[in-house]
Structures are given as C-alpha cells and as structure tokens.
Amino acid sequence: MKALCWYSKEDVRVENVPDPKIINSDDAIIKITSTAICGSDLHLYDALVPTLAPGDILGHEFMGEVVETGKDVKNLKTGDRVIVPFVIACGQCWFCKKGLWSVCDNSNPNAWMVDKMYGYSGAGLFGFGHYAGGFAGGQAEYARVPFADFGPLVIPDHLPDDKVLFLTDIFPTGYMAAENCDIEPGDVIAVWGCGPVGQFAIKSAYMLGAERVIAIDRVPERLKMAQEEGKAEVLNYEEVNVVEALREMTGGRGPDACIDAVGMEAHGVNPDAIYDKVKQSLRLETDRAVALREMIQACRKAGTISVPGVYAMVIDKFPFGSAFDKGLNFKMGQTHVQRYTKKLLDRIEKGDIDPSFVITHHLKLEEAPKGYRKFRDKKDNCIKIVLKPGE
Ligand SMILES: NC(=O)c1ccc[n+]([C@@H]2O[C@H](COP(=O)([O-])OP(=O)(O)OC[C@H]3O[C@@H](n4cnc5c(N)ncnc54)[C@H](O)[C@@H]3O)[C@@H](O)[C@H]2O)c1
Ligand SMILES: [Zn+2]
Ligand SMILES: [Zn+2]
C-alpha cells in the first residue's frame, strides 16, 4: 500500500510499504477513505518530538471501512464505516474505566521509555514517536487498529466523511479544552491560536455556555474564520498588546479561562519569543512557551488555564510564582477522545454543528508532502487539509 513516511526534519515521502496485518485477536484493519494533517503532525515534521524513526508512517486523524477483524472483535464487522480515535486505549484498565482514555495503562508497549522521563506513560497513539508505542499511522491506504472494540465508532451512511472525520481528534480536543474551563454563565473565554484546534475550542466554548469568546492569532484568514464561523471577537497579537487588550475588554478583571491551542511552537513578538527560539534551535530548551506565559499573565485571579496544545519536554522561564499567587487552575493533556465521540456525533446528527467548516483543502495522499509544507507555512489560506487515499 501507499503511506506517508517520515524521514527527518521536513522530509516526509509517500512510499510503497507492506500492508498492515492482524497481529492480535482484537485488531481490525481499516481501509482509509479520509485522513487529515494535524498541528501535532507539524511538531513531528519539524522534528521536535523525540523517538521517530526513518520510515515511520504518520497520521492519527483517519476514518474508513472495516475490511478485516480479529476473531475476538465483537463490536465491529467487515463493511462498517468508522472513525478511529487517535488515542489507542484498552477499555479495561483502571484509567479507561474512569474515562481517562488518553492515559490508558495497557496500550503503549514502549511505556518503559516514558516512565524514565515522565514518571508514568500515557496511552499509545497512532503515528507519533516510538515513545507513544510506535504505531503506524493513518496517512495511508490501510491501518491496523488495536483494541478495535474500544475506539472506532460506526458512522451512519448519510453523514459524509468531511462532517465526521474530526471526531477522531480536533473536535473532541476543542471540546475537552472548553469543558476543562468549567464554564459558568457570563464567562469570557480567551483562546490563543486559531488553527483547527482553536476553531473547535471557540465553537465548544459557546456550546458549553460561554458569554463571550476572544480569539488570538496573527494569520488573517484564521482570525476571519474565528470571527465569522466562530462568532469570536478577535485580537491580532502582532498589532496589539494581548494582555492589555484583554484587560480592557474584560473591565479590568481578565478572562475567566484561557485556552492554549498553540502548543510548543508558539511564535511571538516579545523578547521572550526570541529567547525561546534561540534556546530551542541550540537544543537547550525543547518547548517555546510564549503563549502560555502570556495566558498566565492575562488570566483573571483564580481562573483556569486549559492546555490542549502539545508540549513535549521542558519550558524555560515558566512564571510559576505568578500562577501560584493568582491561584490559577491548570488542566491539560492528550484528549480522552473516546469519552466524547458518541456525544459529539449526536450533536452533528442534530445539526448543532457541521465540523467541515474548518476544511480548506482536499488533496490526494500522494500530495501529502506538499500539504505538510503548505499547512506548516500557512500558505494558500490553508487551515485544514484532508487527504483522500485511493483517489
Ligand atoms: N491535546 C490533544 O489531544 C491535541 C490534539 C490535537 C492537536 N493538539 C495540539 O494543539 C495545537 C494546535 O493544533 P492545530 O492543529 O490547531 O495547529 P496549528 O499549528 O494549525 O495552529 C496553531 C495556531 O497558533 C497560532 N499561534 C502561534 N503562536 C501564537 C501566539 N503566540 N499567540 C496566539 N496564537 C499563536 C498560529 O498562528 C496557528 O494559527 C498543537 O500544539 C497540536 O499539537 C493537541
Ligand atoms: Zn491531531
Ligand atoms: Zn486502558
């Protein structure tokens, strides 16, 4: 089959690789009809996430048709059309039973790598580094899905791929980011980053009852989408001092919660942004935290910082003293996708939201390398790319 393989920084190629096979009796094989490129893939593309090996297949937002199931799979059958959460989870362990799917105890065969660095490992993930299990991803014609009874969700035929594909990641991710803000009536939520995750965080904050959402970015078409589709008020961080502007817009109090939909590759205009860039390029720091520092400054006292943006290792100059003194709450992590898929599918079916609004490009799988560059460099008004294997 054809698949998008990672080789090194900015070097990804579509190659012929062996088809995946059933390995365990609870696996399924999916023929992929749609698969997207995510901001998390960009951290891999930019070689900022450790433990990828040349030839690894990327991609963790994918859906398609079940073409084979292991003998112990009960909830799926050949021919089912499914979305596949990017988090691989066993459904049986203490964490899965509590709905904490992204920290499943059983799905990462390389947990030992992470235990040393982090204390404990999170779940296995499709198409990430070997620290997350080294599972082949879904930017391919086929994928093997482990624990197939506890991830894939069957999709009714009348809903097209573009409407449901993002149940695999970015819709639940934006939703959990907003849920983590514990929104109360009258709340003002500020969202840093108007990429795909930020767009879903904006929509979800309103779905969960926010009175106002203020969105921050510098890319004009992303700010426009936040404003027109998301109904957010917007700030361009290259034009205004974000902390001062937010203070003014909230009567001096600051937003009730701040969502970091940027992650470890934040850029910025303040001196700390230059400091981060230099240190990261010298490999003296792994994560650039410009947006996160700004949030700690801007958030109201006893407010919440919700972090769906991915961080990999260590941050310098993290103002923990101000966070402490202001009594801030922090919530973060890879999304517990399985917790939200059914509930959000219902919202799509009811017509409360059509997640396809975020798609700007459909490309063939063969065009994926060009797509990565376009999405990373924010060229050609690119906000979200869907790849169509087999077309
Ligand atoms: N927690 C999860 O499970 C999960 C799931 C999906 C994605 N993510 C992460 O979410 C983040 C966003 O993903 P995406 O697909 O939207 O990526 P993206 O790269 O398209 O979006 C990031 C946006 O942040 C903006 N930005 C950069 N610096 C900024 C700053 N200082 N202030 C405000 N905006 C700034 C960029 O212009 C860009 O529009 C990534 O870190 C990704 O890895 C996490
Ligand atoms: Zn993703
Ligand atoms: Zn588990």
86: nearest Cα among 336, 274, 303:
336
Q: Which atom of ligand 1 is the closest one to the Cα of 218? A: 37
Q: Which atom of ligand 1 is the closest one to the Cα of 177? A: 1
Report CA dihedral (167, 48, 242, 172) to the nearest 10 degrees: 10
Residue 273 neighbours by CB under 8 Å, 6+ apart: 266, 267, 288, 290
Domain segments of the chain as ranges = 2-169+335-388, 171-332
Task: For the domain covering 2-169+335-388, report its CATH number.
Answer: 3.90.180.10
* pLDDT tens per residue, range 178-235: 999 999 999 999 999 999 999 999 999 999 999 999 999 999 999 999 999 999 999 9
By three-state DSSP, how is residue 268 classified? coil
CB distance 38 to 170 below 8 Å: yes
Cα–Cα distance for residue pair 36/236, rounded to 1 Å = 27
Reported confidence tier of residue 284, pLDDT bands at 50, 70, 90: low
121: nearest Cα among 321, 291, 333, 373:
333
**287 pLDDT above the threshold of 80:** no
CB distance 170 to 197 below 8 Å: yes
Reported confidence tier of residue 268, pLDDT bands at 50, 70, 90: confident
Task: For the domain covering 171-332, report its CATH number.
Answer: 3.40.50.720
CA of 36 to the centre of ligand 2 (A): 8
Distance of CA 134 to the CA centre of its chain: 18
Ligand 1 pocket by C-beta < 6 Å: which residues?
38-40, 42-43, 169-170, 173, 192-198, 216-219, 222, 237, 261-263, 266-268, 290-291, 308-310, 334-335
- For the whole model, what pTM was predicted? 0.97
Which residue has a Cα nearest atom 14 of ligand 1?
39
CA of 318 to the centre of ligand 1 (A): 19
CA of 171 to the centre of ligand 2 (A): 10
Mean pLDDT over 370-384 rounds to: 98
Q: Please give the sequence-ordered ranges of beta strands (E in DSSP) within the chain, or none if there are none.
A: 2-8, 11-16, 28-36, 56-57, 61-69, 81-84, 87-88, 124-125, 142-145, 153-154, 188-192, 212-217, 233-236, 257-260, 304-307, 329-332, 361-364, 385-388
CA of 198 to the centre of ligand 1 (A): 7
Report CA dihedral (219, 220, 223, 224) to the nearest 10 degrees: -150
